[in-house]
Amino acid sequence: MSKLSHFDASGGVHMVDVSTKPETQRQAKARAIVRMSRKTLAALPSNPKGSPLEVARIAGIQAAKRTSELIPLCHPLMLTHISVDVSIRRDSVLIEATAATTGPTGVEMEALTAASIAALTVYDMTKAIDKGICIEKIELIEKSGGKSGTWRRTPQRPRSRA
């Protein structure tokens, strides 16, 4: 197992020093799924609070810009791009967030934060209709740039029930 970068030799927590790392173009994409009833999905366009999907998109963008304020050891980054796409599926809302920067450290946490906060916003805007909404599968889909290069999540096959 490799050494955890946020701990020093004595086990104390610290922010990683990235001052000597080269600046590279970095991008990360994350997603979250908000599972809800078809009745709730059908009610989204007529929500009295406004468009839950559009509010979630804006909330995700705002959250990505504030990631270092929310997650203690994240570096503040100058984002060059952030997008949050929100779409309705058969039994869920799919949120995909992409963040990009040119710098010495990655943007995975910004993409994950955007997807998470967008999902929480969908929940907040629809909880009056359906208390059983479930936020699930918040995950990094891919990242590129930096020393470790490109990484992509491999699709998982559904497990058979024996």
Long-range contacts of 17-22 (CB under 8 A, 24+ apart): 18/75, 18/104, 18/105, 19/104, 21/104, 21/105, 21/146, 21/147, 22/104
Residues 118, 52: Cα–Cα separation, whole Å: 9
124 is catalytic: yes
CB-neighbour burial class of residue 88 (10 A; exposed 0-12, middle 13-18, buried 19+) = middle
> Computed from CA positions of residues 17, 84, 40, 159, in that sequence, does the dihedral angle turn out positive or negative?
negative
By the 8 A CB rule, do 3 and 121 touch?
no
- 140, 115 contact by CB (below 8 A): no
Going by DSSP bridges, is the β-strand pair 24-35/79-88 parallel, antiparallel, or unpaired?
A: unpaired
Name the catalytic one among 8, 17, 91, 124: 124
> Catalytic site residues?
124
